[in-house]
A and B are shown apart, each in its own frame.
Chain A
Amino acid sequence: MDLFQINNLIWMLPLICVFAFLSIGLFSKFLPSEGAIISIFSIGFAFILFIFVLIDFISGDLAAIHSSFTWIDLGEWTISWGLLIDRISIVMIGLITFVAFLVQIYSVGYMKGDSRFGWYFAVHSLFASAMMLLVLSDNLLLLYFAWELVGLGSYLLIGFWYEKTSAAEAAKKAFVTTRIGDVGLLIGIIILFKATGTFHISSIIHAAQEGGISNEVIFWSSFLIFLGAMGKSAQFPLHVWLPDAMEGPTPVSALIHAATMVAAGIYLVGRMFPLFELGPGILVIISIVGIVTFILAGAIALVMTDIKRVLAYSTISHLGLMMLSLGSFGVPAAFFHLVLHGFSKALLFLGAGSVMHGMHDQTEVELMGGLRKKMPITSLTFLVGSLSLAGIVPLSGFFSKDEILISIWEYNSWFLPITLFGVFLSSLYMIRLYCLIFLSTARSEYAEKAHESPRTMTYPLIILSILALFSGLLAFPFPFTGWEGFAAFIDDHHKFHMIPWLTVVSILVAFSGAFLGWVIYGSRRIVINNISSPLKFLYRLVFRKFLFDEIYSWIANKIVFTFSRWITIFDRVIVNDTGIDGVGNSTKKSADILKYFQSGYLYNYSLVMVVGLFLMAIAWWLVE
């Protein structure tokens, strides 16, 4: 075995970050800058490794790179673990390593002076390695393990300032809500294992395509796996944890709750897509969940006044758009949007962090305004991110959104009008957010004293905004280079094409949303109260986020807890006192009795030996 072959080197991707996690976790006190430097170096190394792997992958005609090792060989069956680089995992690795690298550099400035500075970077490394393991894993068991590990990383980072009650509560909420999806995922994986006898994704898909799995099994397993994806990717109605997750440090929101972890659900559906395709009706469910998420979250984003919450709902909304794209056979379009949205949204969150840094951690947009002059770099880069997400031509978000619209038109044309309305909403709320923060005049003392952030924070912003500006060009085929457009890179069958009238419509919709936003919030020609007062009921419903939190806490308090109280009585009296404690106590009692035999006297010991000898002899004669 040649250890330095490229397919074995891909193990280094997750391992280097595990190494960083362990060394910082154990020795952060003894390391320079509490180990932050190790974390940044290892993720940077992973990014460089990614480039090497990418070159190898492309020069190998996009053939999958696979590396697996036998864990144990049990004669009849062998358990092996493996990593797989293919067209979608390489895209994900690129996004993860690159954004994580920038976010970690940014964090040096943002987290300066925090009492758990080293631990912050340790968990970042843990998260990065778990995330890479998740997208590289070639089997569902390892994927599930990484899936939970990613959840753990998210939990630790949301509750990073656990002294704050709201942060601890938010971490708990995220953990519990995603857990509902995770249970579904686990059951789905087990059903597939029962049906095929393997955890390997390629074998499962192969078996399904050969007709080795019944339609019913495919439907239920895909549905349950999709439930897992809904939890992680914050789809309605499991979206409630993501806005609260903004309690974590802002760079965490940029990395985990915008660019990478929440995309894991999209990735999972994309990875298992050949299976989903075969399940009757499953794509329709995905499309409906996607479009409902897209519209409702977009509407909520329009009325939120907390900078991070607007971005959070915007993230939910765009994840819904990606799901909708997957449901419309637009796997390449969904991944394209995933990457471009990842860049833009990371940029916006980091920009929001920069604003908060200058504003003494204020997040309320009502207190901001007029920051354009005081924070020029942040303002400019934030504008780029906003326009990109709003889908204004020619920024990157426009191109990926256009590809999604094409998929929807071709496979799910019924959804197109509603989707266009969602596009309108998303350009409206992005421009609203930009205008409220950066235009007009300062509305508070904080805003008047705001200042630009240090370079470790602004440089990542500049790099990301360059990407948000130009990465959309990847949609086009480049002549003479062999690049046939992003869609063809993901799937050979998807050739690059445009539908001119649809492009024109989408440009118009995005511009009209942006224009309306500028008119209301920028130039203030229309006064917002004139619109919102007739629609007061609707406004309040949206402002209270369609009452999801209230409904959930009512269900939890009235139904679940009542049920739990009854169960508790059963559990205390029967399960615990007679079952668990009974077994435990009798085990302990028998151990106590055994103690008397251990008398310490030699003649007792030898007597027991002789008795044992006789018993053995008797046993042998009994067998005869």
Chain B
Amino acid sequence: MTNNFSLLIPEFLVTGLAFLILSLDLFISEKRKNHLVWVGVIGLFGILIITLLIFSNGILYQGLLVFDDYTNLFRIFFLIAGIIVLISSNEFVKSNIKYQGEFYGILIFTILAAMLLASSSELLTAYISLELLSFGLYVLVSFDRYNLKSNESGVKYVLLGAFSSALILYGISNIYGVLGTTRFDEISLMLVSINDLNPFLILGFIFLFAGLAFKLSAVPFHMWAPDVYEGSPLPITAWLSVGSKVATIALVLRLFCESLLEIGNEWQLIIIVLSVATMLIGNLGALVQTNIKRLLAFSSVGHMGYILMGISALISINEDGSISTGMTTLVLNGIIFYVIAYAITNFAAFTSVIAVYNHTAKDSISDFAGLSKRAPFLSLVLVCSMFSLAGLPVFAGFTSKFYLFNAVASQDLLWLVGIGIVTSLISLYYYLMIARQMYIEEGIDLSSINISLSIKLVLGVLLVGMIVGGIFPSPLMDLIELASEALIS
């Protein structure tokens, strides 16, 4: 069987772009390195267009990598997300980071890893992609070399990350030991054919889930998140909260839908417990934060809880103990929609926070007092993103939450939805607290904050995205439905 390598063109191009930036960094003068970010942005934009043009489906390496509508949706997502992160990090990097070329080069490698995660349909390939992502992030988290907190968070992330990688690898080896395969479709076939689950197989899945839960920062594997988020350079915090999370979710969804639906009765309760703990602790933890980065860290933990809730509802168990997958597509649509809405909103929030930080170099919540007078447009975007994160109407956060909760409720998990709604209510408190700081509290510093045109543009696009996603989501939903059908069939 010959491999059609043209399927991998976007990945090759992203790799090339990363090397291009790394090598340009060696040759150009210190002054011109400010322009490296635009090389990345334009490069990614070109790759995005090429990806859209060569849209084709297929598999590579005997099924190690699968390219279907699902892969393509996430590829496009990561390319756009990459462009947003690059633009929003531009000014921050100029003033805070010493080695710009390496920063952007490694960042682009993590985009590559995220794209690969969406297409890998075999455990070891997935593991390697996940490590590529993590290694990039380990470096990026500690990139602010002269900042003690950045170093600390880098060490924490690397050690705990290694721990979780070990868990994943041990889990994979157990699964391989019992089933003799690591391909998703073959795992599914094997699980149907064997009646009793071997204890080692169960142990293998638990280790795998625990390792993935670490990457998703699900409770109780979430404790690294606030510390690492706080210490990282701000654009990397944004990328951690969106890029790495969405990449892991892309993998988890494919793993669960392609190989684990048949044994849904085995794992459903565990995921439910994880999701309840994550929703509760994420949202409660955010209540007492005084630093915006830590607050957003806990908030993203809470959002992972809602996504886990969706994952647990991928199947429903009938009265006679059999598993029904009639509603799986609907729930899957809900999860993907939620993820995209979360990503848009979180980017909007982080991009505004970065813009404020560039001016004030402060990141505690009380520093946002009186922001509405200093930067009206920025405050508008930030407050809209807070409303959207809290799930208030007209914004994408509301519509996606409504869709996901409805889908979960249709799987007979109404009580779980109840917990979701209560925790959303709790989250309203801390999101509105930020809004209150910006619009009601009087600030000490009254100087107006200037924002560069590129940031304004990004913020405007994200604001429009939040509103259009809330009011008129059907074009997006069409794409999402295509993607989830590719996964379920």
Report A's interface with B, CB cutoff 8 A: 26, 69-76, 587-588, 590-592, 594-595, 597-598, 600, 602, 604-606, 608-609, 611-613, 615-617, 619-621, 623-624
Q: Is the CB of A609 within 8 A of B214?
A: yes
Once A70-B474, A72-B473, A591-B284 are accepted as A-B contacts, the answer to whether A619 and B273 lie under 8 Å apart by CB is yes
Chain A neighbourhood of B160, CB < 8 A: 602, 605-606, 609
A and B contact pairs by CB, cutoff 8 A, 11 listed? A69-B474, A74-B330, A74-B403, A75-B330, A598-B223, A605-B224, A606-B160, A613-B167, A613-B206, A616-B273, A620-B266
Report B's interface with A, CB cutoff 8 A: 155-156, 159-160, 163-164, 167, 202-203, 206-207, 209-210, 213-214, 219-221, 223-224, 226-227, 265-267, 269-270, 273-274, 281, 284-285, 287-288, 327, 330, 376-377, 380, 399, 402-403, 406-407, 410, 426, 471-474, 477
Chain B neighbourhood of A616, CB < 8 A: 206, 209-210, 270, 273-274
Q: Given the complex of chains A and B, what is the CA–CA distance between A69 and B476 in angstroms?
A: 13
Chain B neighbourhood of A597, CB < 8 A: 223
Q: Given the complex of chains A and B, what is the CA–CA distance between A587 and B428 in angstroms?
A: 13
Best-surrounded residue of A26, A71, A621 (most CB of chain B within 10 A): A71
Looking at the assembled complex, report how far the CB atom of B211 sits from the nearest CB atom of chain A, in whole angstroms.
10
Chain B neighbourhood of A595, CB < 8 A: 285, 288
Q: Given the complex of chains A and B, what is the CA–CA distance between A76 and B426 in angstroms?
A: 30
Q: Given the complex of chains A and B, what is the CA–CA distance between A600 and B226 in angstroms?
A: 9
Chain A neighbourhood of B273, CB < 8 A: 616, 619
Q: Is the CB of B220 within 8 A of A620?
A: no
Chain A neighbourhood of B406, CB < 8 A: 74
Q: Given the complex of chains A and B, what is the CA–CA distance between A600 and B219 in angstroms?
A: 16
Looking at the assembled complex, report how far the CB atom of B149 sits from the nearest CB atom of chain A, in whole angstroms.
11
Closest to A595 in B: B288
Q: Is the CB of B206 within 8 A of A591?
A: no
Q: Is the CB of B220 within 8 A of A609?
A: yes
Chain A neighbourhood of B213, CB < 8 A: 612
Q: Is the CB of B287 within 8 A of A588?
A: yes
Looking at the assembled complex, report how far the CB atom of B219 sits from the nearest CB atom of chain A, in whole angstroms.
8
Once A69-B472, A609-B220, A612-B221 are accepted as A-B contacts, the answer to whether A619 and B270 lie under 8 Å apart by CB is yes
Chain B neighbourhood of A606, CB < 8 A: 159-160, 163
Looking at the assembled complex, report how far the CB atom of B489 sits from the nearest CB atom of chain A, in whole angstroms.
17
Once A72-B477, A591-B285, A591-B288 are accepted as A-B contacts, the answer to whether A623 and B265 lie under 8 Å apart by CB is yes
Best-surrounded residue of A587, A604, A617, A620 (most CB of chain B within 10 A): A620
CB-contact partner of A592 in B167, B226, B288, B426, under 8 A: B288
Chain A neighbourhood of B407, CB < 8 A: 74-75
Chain A neighbourhood of B472, CB < 8 A: 69, 71
Q: Is the CB of A594 within 8 A of B285?
A: yes
Closest to A600 in B: B227
Chain A neighbourhood of B202, CB < 8 A: 617, 620-621
Closest to B274 in A: A616
Once A594-B285, A623-B265 are accepted as A-B contacts, the answer to whether A73 and B224 lie under 8 Å apart by CB is no
Q: Is the CB of B163 within 8 A of A75?
A: no
Q: Given the complex of chains A and B, what is the CA–CA distance between A590 and B277 in angstroms?
A: 13
CB-contact partner of A72 in B207, B269, B284, B402, under 8 A: B402
Looking at the assembled complex, report how far the CB atom of A82 sits from the nearest CB atom of chain B, in whole angstroms.
13
Looking at the assembled complex, report how far the CB atom of A14 sits from the nearest CB atom of chain B, in whole angstroms.
12
Chain B neighbourhood of A612, CB < 8 A: 210, 213, 219-221
Chain B neighbourhood of A590, CB < 8 A: 284
Q: Given the complex of chains A and B, what is the CA–CA distance between A1 and B215 in angstroms?
A: 41
Looking at the assembled complex, report how far the CB atom of B230 sits from the nearest CB atom of chain A, in whole angstroms.
10
Once A74-B406, A74-B407, A591-B284 are accepted as A-B contacts, the answer to whether A598 and B477 lie under 8 Å apart by CB is no
Q: Is the CB of B163 within 8 A of A609?
A: yes
Q: Given the complex of chains A and B, what is the CA–CA distance between A413 and B377 in angstroms?
A: 62
Looking at the assembled complex, report how far the CB atom of B77 sits from the nearest CB atom of chain A, in whole angstroms.
20
Closest to B207 in A: A613
CB-contact partner of B269 in A605, A611, A623, under 8 A: A623
Q: Given the complex of chains A and B, what is the CA–CA distance between A609 and B212 in angstroms?
A: 12
Chain B neighbourhood of A604, CB < 8 A: 223
Looking at the assembled complex, report how far the CB atom of A580 sits from the nearest CB atom of chain B, in whole angstroms.
12
Q: Given the complex of chains A and B, what is the CA–CA distance between A600 and B399 in angstroms?
A: 36
Looking at the assembled complex, report how far the CB atom of B272 sits from the nearest CB atom of chain A, in whole angstroms.
10
CB-contact partner of B288 in A73, A588, A624, under 8 A: A588
Once A608-B220, A613-B206, A620-B206 are accepted as A-B contacts, the answer to whether A76 and B285 lie under 8 Å apart by CB is no
Q: Is the CB of A611 within 8 A of B285?
A: no
Chain A neighbourhood of B474, CB < 8 A: 69-73
Looking at the assembled complex, report how far the CB atom of A412 sits from the nearest CB atom of chain B, in whole angstroms.
44
Chain A neighbourhood of B274, CB < 8 A: 616
Q: Given the complex of chains A and B, what is the CA–CA distance between A613 and B219 in angstroms?
A: 11
Chain B neighbourhood of A74, CB < 8 A: 330, 403, 406-407, 410
Q: Is the CB of B221 within 8 A of A71?
A: no
Looking at the assembled complex, report how far the CB atom of A305 sits from the nearest CB atom of chain B, in whole angstroms.
44
Q: Given the complex of chains A and B, what is the CA–CA distance between A280 and B427 in angstroms?
A: 49
Closest to A608 in B: B220
Chain B neighbourhood of A26, CB < 8 A: 376-377, 380
Other A-B pairs beyond A73-B474, A620-B267, 11, CB < 8 Å: A70-B474, A74-B330, A75-B327, A75-B410, A587-B287, A590-B284, A602-B160, A605-B160, A606-B163, A612-B221, A616-B210
Looking at the assembled complex, report how far the CB atom of B380 sits from the nearest CB atom of chain A, in whole angstroms.
7
Q: Given the complex of chains A and B, what is the CA–CA distance between A617 and B207 in angstroms?
A: 9
Q: Is the CB of A591 within 8 A of B269?
A: no
Q: Is the CB of B210 within 8 A of A613?
A: yes
Chain A neighbourhood of B473, CB < 8 A: 71-72
Chain A neighbourhood of B167, CB < 8 A: 613
CB-contact partner of B477 in A73, A75, A591, A594, under 8 A: A73
Once A26-B377, A72-B403, A594-B281 are accepted as A-B contacts, the answer to whether A605 and B206 lie under 8 Å apart by CB is no
Chain A neighbourhood of B285, CB < 8 A: 591, 594-595, 598
Chain A neighbourhood of B164, CB < 8 A: 609
Chain B neighbourhood of A613, CB < 8 A: 167, 206-207, 210
Closest to B393 in A: A145
Chain B neighbourhood of A611, CB < 8 A: 220
Q: Is the CB of B159 within 8 A of A602?
A: yes
Looking at the assembled complex, report how far the CB atom of A587 sits from the nearest CB atom of chain B, in whole angstroms.
6
Q: Given the complex of chains A and B, what is the CA–CA distance between A573 and B44 in angstroms?
A: 61
Chain A neighbourhood of B327, CB < 8 A: 75
Looking at the assembled complex, report how far the CB atom of B225 sits from the nearest CB atom of chain A, in whole angstroms.
10
Looking at the assembled complex, report how far the CB atom of A342 sits from the nearest CB atom of chain B, in whole angstroms.
31
Chain A neighbourhood of B380, CB < 8 A: 26
Chain B neighbourhood of A621, CB < 8 A: 202
Looking at the assembled complex, report how far the CB atom of B457 sits from the nearest CB atom of chain A, in whole angstroms.
16
Q: Given the complex of chains A and B, what is the CA–CA distance between A594 and B302 in angstroms?
A: 14
Q: Is the CB of B206 within 8 A of A76?
A: no
CB-contact partner of B223 in A70, A591, A605, under 8 A: A605
Once A26-B376, A72-B402, A612-B221 are accepted as A-B contacts, the answer to whether A591 and B227 lie under 8 Å apart by CB is no
Chain A neighbourhood of B281, CB < 8 A: 594
Q: Given the complex of chains A and B, what is the CA–CA distance between A592 and B287 in angstroms?
A: 9
Looking at the assembled complex, report how far the CB atom of A609 sits from the nearest CB atom of chain B, in whole angstroms.
5
Closest to A612 in B: B220
Q: Given the complex of chains A and B, what is the CA–CA distance between A621 and B267 in angstroms?
A: 11
Closest to B430 in A: A591
Once A26-B377, A608-B220, A616-B270 are accepted as A-B contacts, the answer to whether A594 and B410 lie under 8 Å apart by CB is no
Once A609-B160, A613-B167 are accepted as A-B contacts, the answer to whether A587 and B426 lie under 8 Å apart by CB is yes
Q: Given the complex of chains A and B, what is the CA–CA distance between A602 and B160 in angstroms?
A: 8
Chain A neighbourhood of B477, CB < 8 A: 72-73
Q: Given the complex of chains A and B, what is the CA–CA distance between A587 and B226 in angstroms?
A: 20
